[in-house]
């Protein structure tokens, strides 16, 4: 009896430390993700949907009623230890916990690892890869066009010329676009607040779930 109890407790600790979810084996196929709920009025104009690479400015909270279906698989792809990236990472983690999303994390510690880590995230075959950290913008531009069946969401930055599988969620102050252009003069590190970051991940995911991809979701 005591041996069984001790074994069970040990197993629970191992699973906790490993971040494993026994209810979701990523090696097995799962149902196609669907949005639970609907976009609110003002998220998008149905009579004038955005063109590819276009920008929408959804009304505040118009994304609140959209949630991922059970078993939604997300990879958090991150690079950078600056405070802006840390704030974004925390927002994604908190969103995933609230929505009971199955989340895995892939972190790139150095520029030489960026493309390789993006490849690792793609090999996990998630429903969505969420990218945080402006350092990943140019590497993503190199890779994403070759993997059109994989959805990406870039939070707090955007690709200069995204393909239809790359959506961005940004706001005034989050203006980094890569391509060697450096930081825009309108970039504002102080704009990366927990509230803004939380809204961006929710609005961006709502856009992807409802099929509005390859665009910029601009939160004023």
Per-residue pLDDT reduced to its tens digit, 114-139: 999 999 999 999 999 999 999 999 99
pTM beyond 0.85: yes
pLDDT given for residue 16 in this prediction: 34
**Assigned domain for 22 exists:** no
**Assigned domain for 17 exists:** no
**Assigned domain for 197 exists:** yes
**Assigned domain for 9 exists:** no
pLDDT given for residue 102 in this prediction: 97
Buried b (16+ CB within 10 A) or exposed e, 86-99: bbbbebbeebbeeb
* 69 DSSP assignment: P
Range of the domain at 83: 31-218
pLDDT given for residue 127 in this prediction: 98
**Assigned domain for 213 exists:** yes
pLDDT given for residue 48 in this prediction: 86
**Assigned domain for 23 exists:** no
**Assigned domain for 3 exists:** no
CATH of residue 173's domain is 3.40.50.2300
Q: What distance in Å separates the CA atoms of residue 22 and residue 12, rounded to the nearest whole number?
A: 10
In this structure, are residues 218 and 81 in contact, taking their beta carbons and an 8 Å threshold?
A: no
Task: Calculate the CA 127 to chain-centre distance.
Answer: 10
**Assigned domain for 12 exists:** no
Which residues in the chain land under pLDDT 50?
Answer: 1-22
Q: Which DSSP string do the residues of 128-177 spell out, in sequence order?
A: EEEEESGGGHHHHHHHGGG-TTS-EEEES---SS--TTEEEEE-TT----
pLDDT given for residue 178 in this prediction: 65
pLDDT given for residue 27 in this prediction: 86
Domain total of the chain: 1
Q: Cβ atoms within 10 A of the Cβ of 200, count?
A: 27
pLDDT given for residue 180 in this prediction: 53
Q: What distance in Å separates the CA atoms of residue 78 and residue 86, rounded to the nearest whole number?
A: 9
- Helices 194-209 and 83-99: crossing angle, nearest 10°? 50
């Amino acid at each position: 009896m005591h041996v069984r109890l001790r074994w069970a407790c040990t197993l629970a600790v191992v699973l906790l430390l490993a971040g494993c979810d026994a209810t979701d084996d990523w090696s097995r196929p799962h149902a196609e993700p669907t949005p639970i709920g609907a976009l609110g009025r003002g998220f998008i104009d149905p009579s004038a949907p955005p063109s590819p690479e276009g920008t929408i400015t959804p009304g505040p909270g118009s994304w609140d009623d959209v949630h991922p279906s059970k078993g939604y698989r997300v990879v958090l792809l991150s690079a950078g230890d600056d405070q802006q990236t840390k704030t974004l990472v925390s927002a994604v983690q908190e969103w995933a916990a609230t929505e009971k999303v199955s989340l895995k994390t892939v972190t790139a510690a150095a520029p030489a690892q960026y493309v390789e880590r993006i490849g690792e995230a793609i090999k996990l075959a998630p429903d969505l890869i969420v990218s945080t950290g402006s350092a990943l913008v140019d590497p993503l531009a190199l890779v994403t066009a070759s993997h059109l069946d994989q959805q990406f969401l870039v939070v707090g930055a955007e690709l200069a010329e995204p393909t239809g599988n790359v959506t961005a969620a940004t706001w005034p102050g989050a203006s980094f676009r890569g391509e060697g252009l450096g930081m825009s003069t309108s970039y504002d590190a102080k704009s990366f607040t927990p509230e803004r970051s939380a809204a961006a991940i929710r609005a961006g995911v709502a856009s992807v779930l409802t099929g509005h991809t390859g665009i910029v979701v601009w939160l004023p």
